């Protein structure tokens, strides 16, 4: 229908459109069909048309007229129970609206009028610092969370603010990282400490995390633990574990989980942090290694006598196949006490599970001052072989190289002079060369050039991006981070501005594993996956629910989107698909089988009852619940906002409460309560268009499982409902069919709009509407493949200009 409207518009002779045309031809139609509800007496939906300025070019009314056009095109206005527009009226009205809107859009293309400069958000800062410095570390842990734009995105320039607290953090964090990276003098002597297993049980506050006994065979239960002397306070260290697995063919790789920390003897105090996880795939002994800095882990702050202070390492088998550990059996053993007397002691023994692969630990070592080379690679990224800070030429090179990468463009002469002078100032204040460099570089990482993606222009008008700006836009779109060397080279030669080169880069970048960041960031923000964290599952109704499933539910949706993107198949699968992405615990939760570990894999849903697409994901059901029962309105608003880009208006101020006027209202099921809402005039206008979308999902409870009764009141659920436009449906499967058949274009436009909003880092404007039209038409032609859509977005005018 949308398509039709625009085609009609093009057929209209231009002369019909104009001020008089409005008065003579359009206003009478509005008068007849619209003013009754959107005029002097009533302003349903907060819209009044009789006083709305028909001059969209000079006036500020274009957005509202555009809403009106959309509602007419969608067939939602006039309402079905009111007289409909005749074909002629519709043509005149839609023609006028479309024509004026096009004029307004055109006029605005040259006036700009919105912030384009945007600060790196928390995630982008984290990724950028990691890529820039080559050091994995938590850069953004202490940063306040970022503001969301009205569309729910966290990369919107207008919404992202700057405060003193943040700049303080930028300076502090950069300096901290550079302290790890830039080294002086000779490498401190490598020291290797071999640990032996402590055969006794684990004691101290962290012990709760460990079940079973101390052992070198790690299965569903049991753990390995040992201590070492001379806990390092600084300098890179590695934990080296020689291990193998007794995995049988068909069994998954067990996963070694390593904790590192300190142990104060006498106090039985063991404080540990997670050092990481490694899949143990070898069935013969080999070395596995994890490295880090002591500062990443808890360190004792007060003075502890060194003979009491020990390092501690613990190992567990973290493979999760969804099965709970077998229960412990009591056993009586005999052992000799210190005096050699034989005593009986009761211990807990865990029966061995033959289906669960063990990890067998042969040896554990800690290597202090363990660097792959000296100076270490991240240092060499900044100061190359043969470069000395005392040599002004070298210093200039070092600084220029760093600033170019940090600022995503070369520093100009004036800037170079300033920053070299700053280094000089630091030296004069008595800083040794390496410290002066750390200072200078950390200041560069708190400068506006680094923190903002800016495309300076001495006017708010539009202009083409230069190659460096384009490279940055592209890399923040697809990688949430800075450009890599290849992009830098293409930007410097200017070749990136050639469309074939640009298209080739998109292809390359999407295949790079850094594109996983796009999947994560875009998918989380678009589908508001954080919603899962905002709901607490009520244990009264879900006794056995394990909260560890919540992050897995989020991962299902993220991985599912990633799989569609990676396989370059139709994005309509987001609405319905014959597969999903699951790991063992989540598959078990759904009553499906296949995955054998916590790793996510593609699972076919053919022949199962599990619905496909995001509407079938537990993340959707859980976020759209109150922790006990479904919350149909939350689910409905989510569908309309996120999947159809048509969010209902927020509840008006001081909405009258229907509850009191209906006796026994509180005893009704939610479905019945909503039905009452829809019957009341004050509520009906909005709720008729909201509730049914959520009711269709009623058969899925707060934890994403099929249900027949509600959790609280044990009322039977019924997902049958009537969608706006009098479409009767009988549940989720029908809703999916309806979306695919009738709302396909709407969904395609919605996804296009959301993706474009994310790519541009700003809210969309009226003049973008026609681009969305084109992009979404091409999206359909290209079989709804995201690669194709993303390529078209990158090639579009708003993306390559500011």
Partner 1 sequence: MNQGAFQLNRRAMLKATGISLALPWMESLMGARTKSPPRRFCSIYFPYGVSLPKQDGEYGQWNWFPKGSGRDFTFNKSLEVLEPFRDQVTVLGGLSHPKVRRIGGHDSGDTFLTGEELSLAATGLKNSISLDQFMARTHKLGASTRFTSLVLSSDGGVGMPTRANTLSYSRTGQPIPSFNRPAIVFERLFGLNGNSIEAQKKGLTRTGSHLDLLLDEARTMHRKLGKEDQGKLDQYLTSVREIEQDVERSAQWLDVPRPKVNAEGLSLEADNETPGKLIHTMLDLIALAFQTDSTRFVTYQLASMHGAISIANKFPNLLGFNKDAHGLAHGAGKGSGAENRGKWDRYQAECLAYLIKRLSQMEEGNGSVLDNTCIFYGSSNSKTHNNTNYPLILAGGRNLGYKHGQYLTFDSKTPLSNLFVTMQKRMGVKAGSFADSTGNLDDLIA
Interface of this chain with partner 1, residues 697 to 716, rule: CB under 8 A:
712
Number of residues in contact with partner 1 under rule CB under 8 A: 104
3-state helix, strand, coil in the chain (%, to 5): 45, 15, 40
- Write out the binding residues for partner 1, residues 96-115 only, by CB under 8 A: 112-115
How far, in Å, CA of 595 to CA of 320, rounded?
10
**61 alpha carbon, distance to own chain's centre:** 35
Q: Which is nearer to partner 1, 259 or 776 (CB)?
A: 259
Nearer to partner 1, 117 or 497 (CB): 117
Smallest gap from residue 89 Cβ to partner 1 (A): 31
Q: Tokens in use for 726?
A: 């009098």
Min dist CB 288 to partner 1, Å, is 14
335 makes contact with partner 1 (CB under 8 A): no
First to last CA, the chain: 32
Please identify, using beta-carbon distances, which residue of 41 and 667 lies nearer to partner 1.
667
Q: Give the nearest distance from C-beta 431 to partner 1 in angstroms.
A: 8
Kindly report each contact of residues 53-60 with a partner whose C-beta sits within 8 Å and lies 24 or more positions away, as own/partner. 54/19, 54/22, 54/26, 54/27, 54/100, 55/19, 56/100, 56/101, 56/103, 56/104, 57/100, 57/103, 57/104, 57/107
Which of 578, 579, 583 minimizes the C-alpha distance to 594?
A: 583
Cα distances from 299 to residues 203, 272, 395, in angstroms, run 18, 9, 36
Residue 608 CA, chain-centre distance (Å), reads 29
Half-sphere exposure of 758 (CA within 13 A, CB side): 25
186 Cβ partners below 8 Å, 6+ apart? Answer: 374
454: contact with partner 1 by CB under 8 A = yes
Residue 116: CB minimum distance to partner 1, A: 7
- For tokens 């210190």, what's the residue? 338
Q: Which two tokens stand for residue 285?
A: 């002994």
* Comparison of 179 and 246: residue with beta carbon closer to partner 1: 179
Nearer to partner 1, 20 or 544 (CB): 544
Q: Is 534 in the site for partner 1 (CB under 8 A)?
A: yes
Q: Closest distance between partner 1 and the C-beta of residue 251, in Å?
A: 26
Residues from 9 through 48 that contact partner 1 (CB under 8 A): none
Taking the complex as a whole, how short is the minimal distance between the CB of residue 614 and partner 1, in angstroms? 17
> Could you tell me which of 552, 656, 755, 773 has the C-alpha nearest to residue 73?
773
CB of 263 to partner 1, least distance (A): 11
Stretch that binds partner 1, among 221-229, 316-324, 442-450, 739-747 (CB under 8 A): 442-450
Per DSSP, what are the bridge partners of residue 35?
none
- Rounded least distance, CB 168 to partner 1, Å: 6
Stretch that binds partner 1, among 450-458, 484-492, 513-521, 608-616 (CB under 8 A): 450-458
Binders of partner 1 in range 603-642 (CB under 8 A): 626-628, 631, 634, 637
Query: Looking at 371-379, 457-465, 592-600, 770-778, which segment touches partner 1 (CB under 8 A)?
Result: 457-465
Query: Quick check: 1 binds partner 1 (CB under 8 A)?
Result: no
Burial readout 140-165 (b: 16 or more C-beta within 10 A, e: otherwise): beebeebebbebbbbbbbbbbeeeee
Residue from 56, 275, 474, 586 binding partner 1 (CB under 8 A):
275
Can you tell me which of 53, 80, 82, 168 binds partner 1, judged by CB under 8 A?
168
CB atoms within 10 A of CB 317: 25
Alpha carbon of residue 154 to chain centroid: 10
- Give 314's strand partners: 225, 259
Collect all residues with Cβ–Cβ distance below 8 Å to 477 and sequence separation of at least 6.
Answer: 518, 758, 759, 790, 794
320's tokens: 């999760």
Between 149 and 597, name the residue whose CB sits nearer to partner 1: 149
342-374 in b/e burial notation, b at 16+ Cβ within 10 A? eeeeeeeebeeeeebbbbbbeebbbbbbbbeee
Q: How many CA atoms lie within 13 A of 337 on its CB side?
A: 6
Binders of partner 1 in range 282-311 (CB under 8 A): 290-292, 296-298, 300-302, 304
Q: Which is nearer to partner 1, 405 or 791 (CB)?
A: 405
Residues 499-528 that bind partner 1 (CB under 8 A): none
Residue 422 as a binder of partner 1 (CB under 8 A): the answer is yes
Nearer to partner 1, 568 or 659 (CB): 659
* Sole binder of partner 1 in the list 228, 419, 561, 799 (CB under 8 A): 419
536 binds partner 1 (CB under 8 A): yes
Helices assigned H by DSSP within 35-163: 62-73, 87-109, 122-133
| Residue among 59, 75, 594, 651 that touches partner 1 (CB under 8 A) | 651
Residues 108-147 that bind partner 1 (CB under 8 A): 112-118, 136, 138, 141-142, 144-147
Site for partner 1 (CB under 8 A): which residue of 58, 229, 343, 425? 425
- Rounded to a whole number of angstroms, the minimum distance from the CB of residue 576 to partner 1 is 25
With CB under 8 A as the contact rule, the residue among 103, 191, 449, 508 that binds partner 1 is: 449
Per DSSP, the residues of 736-751 read HHHHHHHSHHHHHHHH
Contact 137, 180 (CB under 8 A): yes
675 binds partner 1 (CB under 8 A): no
Instruction: Give yes or no for residue 660 binding partner 1 (CB under 8 A).
Output: yes
CA 512, chain centre distance (Å): 18
Nearer residue to partner 1 within complex by CB, 300 or 724: 300
Under the criterion CB under 8 A, does residue 665 sit at the interface with partner 1? yes
Q: How far is the CB of 120 from partner 1 (least distance, A)?
A: 12
**Residue in 27, 44, 148, 744 binding partner 1, rule: CB under 8 A:** 148
Binding test (CB under 8 A) with partner 1, winner from 500, 666, 714, 781 = 666
| Subset of residues 540 to 559 that bind partner 1, contact rule: CB under 8 A | 540, 547
**Interface with partner 1 includes 457 (CB under 8 A)?**
yes
Q: Which of 102, 215, 320, 442 binds partner 1 (CB under 8 A)?
A: 442
Nearer to partner 1, 247 or 677 (CB): 677
Count of CA atoms in the C-beta half-sphere (13 A) of 362: 13
Token pair 């109704």 in the structure block, residue:
541
Could you give the CA distance from residue 573 to residue 576 in angstroms, rounded to a whole number?
5
Residues 338-367 that bind partner 1 (CB under 8 A): none
Tokens standing for residue 26: 């359009």
Q: How far is 273 from 261, CA to CA, in rounded Å?
A: 6
Q: Which of residues 406, 443, 559, 574 is near partner 1 by CB under 8 A?
A: 443
Cβ nearer to partner 1, comparing 263 with 590: 263
Contact map string, positions 222 to 261, toward partner 1, x by CB under 8 A: -------------------------------------x-x
Tell me which residues in 708-767 interact with partner 1 (CB under 8 A): 712
538 near partner 1, rule: CB under 8 A: yes
């Amino acid at each position: 229908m949308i398509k039709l409207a625009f085609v009609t518009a093009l057929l209209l002779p231009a002369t019909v459109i104009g001020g008089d045309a409005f008065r003579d031809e359009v206003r009478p139609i509005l008068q007849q069909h619209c003013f009754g509800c959107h005029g002097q007496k009533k302003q349903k939906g907060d819209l009044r048309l009789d006083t709305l300025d028909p001059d969209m070019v000079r006036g500020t009314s274009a957005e509202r007229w555009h809403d009106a056009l959309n509602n007419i095109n969608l067939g939602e206005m006039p309402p079905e129970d009111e007289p409909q527009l005749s074909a002629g009226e519709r043509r005149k009205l839609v023609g006028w609206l479309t024509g004026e809107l096009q004029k307004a859009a055109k006029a605005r293309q040259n006036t700009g009028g919105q912030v384009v400069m945007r600060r790196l958000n928390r995630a982008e800062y984290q990724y950028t610092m990691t890529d820039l410095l080559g050091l994995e570390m938590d850069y953004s842990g202490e940063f306040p969370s970022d503001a969301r734009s009205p569309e729910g995105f966290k990369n919107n320039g207008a919404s992202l603010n700057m405060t003193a607290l943040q700049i303080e953090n930028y300076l502090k964090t950069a300096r901290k990282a550079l302290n790890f990276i830039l080294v002086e003098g000779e490498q401190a002597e490598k020291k290797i400490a071999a640990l032996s297993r402590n055969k006794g049980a684990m004691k101290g506050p962290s012990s709760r995390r460990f079940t079973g006994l101390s052992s070198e065979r790690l299965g569903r239960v049991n753990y390995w633990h040992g201590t070492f002397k001379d806990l390092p306070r600084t300098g890179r260290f590695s934990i080296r574990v020689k291990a193998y697995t007794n995995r049988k063919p068909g069994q998954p790789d067990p996963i070694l989980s390593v904790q590192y920390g300190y142990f104060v003897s006498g106090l039985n105090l063991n404080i540990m942090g997670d050092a990481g996880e490694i899949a143990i795939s070898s069935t013969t002994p080999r070395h596995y290694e994890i490295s880090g800095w002591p500062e990443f882990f808890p360190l004792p702050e007060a003075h502890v006598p060194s003979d009491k202070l020990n390092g501690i390492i613990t190992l567990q088998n973290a493979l999760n196949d969804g099965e709970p550990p077998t229960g412990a059996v009591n056993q009586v053993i005999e052992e000799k006490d210190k005096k050699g007397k034989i005593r009986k002691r009761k211990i807990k023994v865990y029966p061995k599970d033959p289906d669960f692969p063990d990890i067998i630990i042969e040896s554990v070592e800690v290597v202090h001052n363990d660097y792959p080379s000296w100076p270490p690679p991240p240092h060499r990224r900044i100061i190359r072989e043969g470069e000395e800070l005392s040599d002004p030429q070298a210093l200039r090179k070092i600084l220029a190289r760093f600033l170019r990468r940090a600022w995503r463009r070369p520093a100009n002469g004036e800037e170079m002079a300033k920053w070299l002078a700053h280094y000089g100032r630091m030296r004069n204040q008595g800083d040794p060369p390496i410290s002066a460099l750390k200072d200078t570089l950390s200041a560069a990482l708190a400068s506006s050039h680094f923190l903002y993606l800016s495309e300076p222009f001495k006017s708010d008008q539009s202009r083409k991006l230069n190659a460096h700006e384009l490279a940055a836009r592209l890399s923040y779109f697809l990688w949430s981070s800075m450009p890599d060397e290849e992009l830098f080279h293409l930007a410097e030669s200017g070749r990136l501005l050639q469309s074939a080169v640009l298209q080739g880069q998109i292809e390359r970048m999407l295949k790079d594993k850094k594109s996983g960041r796009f999947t994560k960031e875009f998918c989380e923000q678009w589908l508001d996956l954080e919603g899962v964290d905002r709901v607490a599952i009520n244990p009264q109704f879900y006794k056995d629910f394990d909260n560890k499933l919540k992050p897995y539910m989020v991962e299902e949706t993220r991985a599912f989107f990633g799989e569609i993107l990676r396989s370059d198949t139709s994005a309509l699968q987001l609405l319905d698909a014959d597969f999903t992405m699951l790991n063992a615990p989540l598959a078990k939760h759904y009553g499906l089988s296949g995955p054998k570990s916590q790793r996510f894999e593609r699972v076919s849903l053919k022949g199962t009852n599990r619905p496909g697409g995001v509407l079938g994901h537990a993340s959707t059901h859980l976020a759209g619940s109150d922790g006990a029962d479904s919350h149909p309105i939350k689910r409905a608003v989510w569908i309309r906002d996120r999947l159809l880009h048509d969010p209902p208006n927020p509840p008006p101020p001081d909405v009258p409460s229907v509850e009191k006027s209906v006796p026994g209202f509180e005893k009704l099921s939610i479905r019945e309560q909503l039905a009452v809402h829809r019957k009341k005039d004050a509520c009906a206008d909005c709720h008729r268009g909201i509730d049914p979308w959520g009711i269709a999902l009623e058969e899925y409870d707060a934890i994403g499982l099929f249900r027949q009764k509600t959790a609280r009141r044990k009322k039977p659920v019924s997902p049958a409902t009537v969608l706006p436009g009098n479409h009767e449906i009988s549940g989720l499967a029908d809703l999916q069919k309806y979306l695919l058949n009738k709302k396909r274009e709407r969904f395609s436009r919605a996804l296009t709009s959301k993706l474009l909003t994310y790519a541009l880092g700003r809210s969309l404007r009226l003049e973008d509407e026609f681009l969305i039209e084109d992009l979404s038409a091409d999206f359909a032609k290209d079989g709804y493949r995201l690669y194709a859509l993303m390529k078209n977005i990158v090639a579009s005018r708003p993306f390559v200009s500011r």
